[in-house]
Amino acid sequence: MSLTDLLCPSDIAAALRDCQAPDSFSPKKFFQISGMSKKSSSQLKEIFRILDNDQSGFIEEDELKYFLQRFECGARVLTTSETKTFLAAADHDGDGKIGVEGIDYFNCR
Query: In degrees to the nearest 10, what's the CA dihedral of 64, 102, 30, 20?
Result: -10
User: Annotated binding residue at 29?
Assistant: no
On whether 11 is known to bind a ligand per the annotation, the reply is: no
To the question of whether residue 54 is assigned a binding role by annotation, the answer is: yes
Residue 104 is assigned to a ligand binding site: no
Q: Is 82 annotated as a binding residue?
A: no
Q: How far apart are CA 88 and CA 4, in angstroms?
A: 27
52 annotated ligand binder: yes
In this structure, are strands 58-60 and 97-99 parallel, antiparallel, or unpaired?
Answer: antiparallel
Please compute Rg for the chain using Cα positions: 12
Q: Could you list the residues known to form a binding site for Ca(2+), using ranges.
A: 52, 54, 56, 58, 63, 91, 93, 95, 97
Q: Could you list the residues known to form a binding site, using ranges.
A: 52, 54, 56, 58, 63, 91, 93, 95, 97
